[in-house]
């Protein structure tokens, strides 16, 4: 985090959220060091920050104290994104950012990603959804079996080109077999 990296994992419920804690706690987790005075968290600032992100990301919640487990998948994902936006990362890695969210939330998440990129944040999106990749990426790097099989510019990134790289036959050199 100190180096300016943020990471939203694929499995938000298991790896990113404190499900029995509120929206506020989950959103401010990555910036508690900035909200503290000594060992005491400045709650008024924390509430203000959380409310700002609830409003700007359009998180549908009755309150910032609402348990995250009671939110929809899209709203949970926006809470995870808010955590990192509050940190103001230089690089944000999003692993399957729209998995398990409805179409409306997908559109909002795409809007957030586009705005981050426009603001100069390097956004690395890991996705198995081709339309998502084609809609978001300036550059596409295709991997298979942990190895890069190719790189495409936005202009060259078509569904056929990506699938061709993803379905590359055997990548193992002859001598390694």
Model pLDDT for residues 112-128, shown as the tens digit of each residue: 999 999 999 999 999 98
Residue 37 lies in a domain: yes
* Number of Cβ atoms within 10 Å of the Cβ of 93: 17
Residue 164 lies in a domain: no
pLDDT in tens, 24-45: 999 999 998 999 988 898 999 9
Our count of domains for the chain comes to 1
pLDDT (mean) for 55-80:
96
Residue 50 lies in a domain: yes
171 pLDDT tier (thresholds 50, 70, 90): low
Give per-residue burial for 36-58: e unless 16+ CB within 10 Å, then b: eeeeeeeeeebeebbbebbeebe
Of 138, 133, 151, 145, residue with least CA distance to 170? 145
Residue 166 lies in a domain: no
Q: Which domain holds residue 12?
A: 5-137
Q: Which secondary-structure segment (H or E) carries 45?
A: helix 43-56
Of 4, 48, 58, residue with least CA distance to 30? 4
- Give the CATH number, domain containing residue 37: 3.40.50.300
pLDDT of residue 172: 53
């Amino acid at each position: 985090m100190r180096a300016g990296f943020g990471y939203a994992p694929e499995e938000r419920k298991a790896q990113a959220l404190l499900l029995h804690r509120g929206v506020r706690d989950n959103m401010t987790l990555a910036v508690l060091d900035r909200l503290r005075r000594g060992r005491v968290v400045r709650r008024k600032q924390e509430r203000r920050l959380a409310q700002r992100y609830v409003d700007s990301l359009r998180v549908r919640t009755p309150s910032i104290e609402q348990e995250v487990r009671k939110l929809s998948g899209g709203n949970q994902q926006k809470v995870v994104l808010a955590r990192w936006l509050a940190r103001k990362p230089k690089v944000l890695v999003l692993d399957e950012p729209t998995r398990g969210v409805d179409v409306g939330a997908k559109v909002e998440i795409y809007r957030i990603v586009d705005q981050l990129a426009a603001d100069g944040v390097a956004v690395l999106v890991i996705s198995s959804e081709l339309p998502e990749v084609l809609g978001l990426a300036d550059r596409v790097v295709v991997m298979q079996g942990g190895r890069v099989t190719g790189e495409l510019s936005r202009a060259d990134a078509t569904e056929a080109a990506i699938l061709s790289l993803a379905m590359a036959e055997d990548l193992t050199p002859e001598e390694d077999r």
